[in-house]
A and B are shown apart, each in its own frame.
Chain A
Amino acid sequence: MTSFDPAGVTIGEQLPALALEPVNRTMLTLFGCASGDLNPVHLDIDVARRLGMPDVFAQGMLGAAWLGRLLTNWAPQSRLRRLDVRFQGITHLGNAITCRGEVVDICDVDGERCARVQVSNSNQFGQLKIVGEALVSLA
């Protein structure tokens, strides 16, 4: 990670984008075990089909974890005050996700100078999968 300069953060600044490999079954299995999300709809094609899905699909929290990576790659995690995400769509096998972030405001929150960062996660077709917002301390 490059060193973070809180004094140099400006509104409109883009975080370095994080581009992920296309989603595959191995990723879903590894994430299922590590995150505790063992919902078989993400792991077992038979269950996914029984529930009306064409195949297994990514755990929502995998995409959220990638947004966590986007943020901690930019600023140390000890500066992260909030992360709020809204799931917009299902991330399918083969989706190559890119996480992006932009500083949209610099404001005082509970007496602490913070950057408000809009984050998003979308696939190679530009379809939004997750949108969210983070607060990063600049104090």
Chain B
Amino acid sequence: MIDKKWMGYELPVSTLPLERGRLRAFARAVGEPDPVYVDVEAARAAGYPDLPAPPTFLFAAELDSGTQMAMAEAMGISLAKLLHGEQGFTYHRPACAGDTVTVRTRISEIYDKKGGALEFVVTLSEVRNQHDDLVAELRNVLVCRH
């Protein structure tokens, strides 16, 4: 069982500078044909200062830094048992190439179902830009299968 002492734990902060090349690579990887996501002029014509990060891209910050994986390891959850159960995004303002986002995450809930056969770890994150404006809030549910 995952120790409930982890409830409220704050993960190390992750910082990710948003680069055009990375955003274009993401657009290519998901087959995005919309020029807004690859062409700076198209992005500007759509009202963005630069290429916007697509809706699910912000999840990258904590994958790059490895904080969520490190958290699972520290909690004693092996990679083989770990599943991504749910992911939520609430958007407040765009994040674009040239911005630097900072992600602060804490563990909000730990619970189990089916008599402990499934354990759930819920994390809530705040994503802010370099001006400390709130860009998005993320909710992640990790599932550990026993």
Instruction: Please give the residue numbers on chain A whose beta carbons come within 8 Å of chain B beta carbons, in ascending order.
Output: 1, 20-21, 27, 30-31, 33-39, 41, 51-52, 60-62, 64-69, 71-73, 76-78, 80-87
* Residue pair A35, B94 in contact (C-beta under 8 Å): no
* Residue pair B63, A36 in contact (C-beta under 8 Å): yes
Q: Is B55 an interface residue (CB 8 A)?
A: yes
- List the 7 closest A-B pairs by CB distance, nearest first: A36-B63, A68-B55, A30-B29, A84-B88, A34-B29, A34-B26, A34-B25
The 0/1 profile, CB within 8 Å of A marked 1, for residues 49-71 of chain B is: 00010111101110110000100
A36-B64, A37-B63, A77-B55 known; A64+B87 contact, CB < 8 A: yes
- Bound together, the chains give a CA A80 to CA B31 distance in angstroms of 20
Interface size bracket, B side = 35 or more
- Picked from A30, A31, A51, A60, the residue with its CB within 8 Å of the CB of B80 is A51
Is chain B's binding surface mostly helix, strand, loop or mixed? Answer: mixed
A30-B29, A81-B91 known; A65+B56 contact, CB < 8 A: yes
